[in-house]
Amino acid sequence: MASMNTSHSTADVAVVGLGRVGLPLALSFADRGLTVIGIDNDPARLGAIADGRMPFAETGAQEMLDRVHAGGALTLGDAVAGAAGARHIVITLGTPSFSHIEIDMRDIRSALDDLLGVLRPGHSLILRSTIAPGTTEFVAGYVAKHRGFEIGEEVFVAHAPERIAAGRFLEEIDTLPCIIGGVGERSGEVVAELFAAFSAPIVQTTPVQAELAKIWANILRYTHFALPNLLMMDCERYAANVFEVIDLINRDYPRGGIAQPGLTAGTCLRKDFTFSEERSAAPGMLLAVSRVNESVPLFLLEGAKRRLGELANRRVAVLGLAFKADTDDERDSLAHKLIRLLERELADVSVHDPHVSTPTLSFEQALAGAEVVFVASNHSEFRGAGALAAIADGAAPDCLVVDPWNCWGASQVFAYASELIVLMPTQPPA
């Protein structure tokens, strides 16, 4: 057991899974004066936290860890059963999807099995992970079946989905409405007592409505970005400019607008739709949305080949590995897919990302002699005039720049660096 506080006294709350969701949540509870048990089975993660080092970037989290470290309100452990030392047990384990388009809840099942024997009346079990509709009722049924507890009276089970965007945890934990879907008579009310530690309004609902609200917020976003991505591909077919078409759609139009294209991915968007798709009334619809977003790297690569010919033995620079701007999170990033596809073309790929922990080349090294530059993540470092000037200086003469993000406001997915320098507006887009 790695330990920040070796006392075994009963805690207010345990958080099982100290990942990108669980660790900021555990620290926030401790920072609000609750006694917290943090459980993770990764010794490296526990070691980093015990040493006072955030294992990933989250705005303000390192300062919060420093405060919690000094306060001693967080006890760390590696055995899930240790969570039973707290009144509220929050599960923040990963919930990937199987390739069968079905939730993979093995981590949750295994945690549940570890907890079954130690659950006692008064405990609340809160699923914070993203889950397929019906999972909360399954968990409640599993506990009732194996332990005979009356759920909602003796033991409390609820879904309280995490809806905060990475990088905004500290801001949104106090503002984003906290949805609670409790099972039975009193689960919602008991779990609301825990989340009252934060200032966000609490919205009570049924478990399945909480599950649907969480996954459909991500489905909406995933679909929202698939449309401009599909439009980008259509525009290439018709020799039209996607940014001009988007401007024509949106300009002074009072009935909503279309988003901008990009490499749309990340763990949540890439898999949460499968939790609906596994028993969809329109099977395949969301799978098609996914296929559009997933085909953007190939579309970009083929666009480069249409302009330059084969990419074999050419130097290609990929800027960005993270799945979204200014984060260090590479999980399920389409930049990796783009690199895999480029390597299959036998291109010589060099990569630069100033945020991620994976070692990459410097900006200058990655650009040196590149005949094509792909902007895979729209990090702020890539958006200024300086970055474009560095490409024009460091890459091969007349290097092709592939930028679905419109980083420089030049409104060209495929353009030569020399053209972009001329087109560059004085101010890059916000």
- Sketch the per residue contact string, 55 through 94, with ligand NAD: x for CB under 6 A, - otherwise: -------------------------x-----------xxx
In sequence order, what E strands does 40-132 have? Answer: 74-77, 86-91, 97-98, 102-103, 124-127
Q: Which is closer to ligand NAD, CB of 19 or CB of 262?
A: 19
Binding mask 134-173 for ligand NAD (x = CB under 6 A): ----------------------------x---x-------
Interatomic CA distance for residues 136 and 125, integer angstroms? 10
Closest approach of ligand NAD to the CB of residue 78, in Å: 7
Binder among 4, 13, 17, 301 for ligand NAD (CB under 6 A): 17
Minimum CB separation of residue 167 from ligand NAD in Å reads 9
Measured between alpha carbons, how far is 62 from 33 in angstroms, rounded to an integer? 17
CA distance 266 to 222: 10
Query: Distance between CA atoms of 385 and 351, rounded to whole angstroms?
Result: 20
Q: Which of 5, 28, 35, 95 binds ligand NAD (CB under 6 A)?
A: 95
Confirm or reject binding of residue 236 to ligand NAD (CB under 6 A): no
Instruction: Report the 3 state secondary structure along 330-381.
Output: CCCCHHHHHHHHHHHCCCEEEEECCCCCCCCCCHHHHHCCCCEEEECCCCHH
Q: How far is the CB of 389 from ligand NAD (least distance, A)?
A: 34
Tokens found for residue 47:
């070691």
Q: Where are the beta strands (DSSP E) in 170-243?
A: 178-182, 202-205
CB nearer ligand NAD, residue 106 or residue 340: 106
CB of 388 to ligand NAD, least distance (A): 31
Separation between Cα atoms, residue 310 and residue 296, nearest integer Å:
19
Q: Answer whether 406's CB lies under 8 Å from 429's CB.
A: yes
Nearer to ligand NAD, 215 or 391 (CB): 215
Q: Toward ligand NAD, which CB reaches closer, 21 or 158?
A: 21
129 binds ligand NAD (CB under 6 A): yes
Q: Of 411-430, which residues contact ligand NAD (CB under 6 A)?
A: none
Bridge partners of 351, per DSSP, are: 318
Angle, CA 196 vertex, CA 192 and CA 202 arms, to 5°? 60
Of 13, 15, 21, 407, which lies in the binding site for ligand NAD, with binding defined by CB under 6 A?
Answer: 21
Residues in the site for ligand NAD, rule: CB under 6 A?
16-22, 39-42, 45, 80, 92-95, 107, 110-111, 129-130, 162, 166, 268
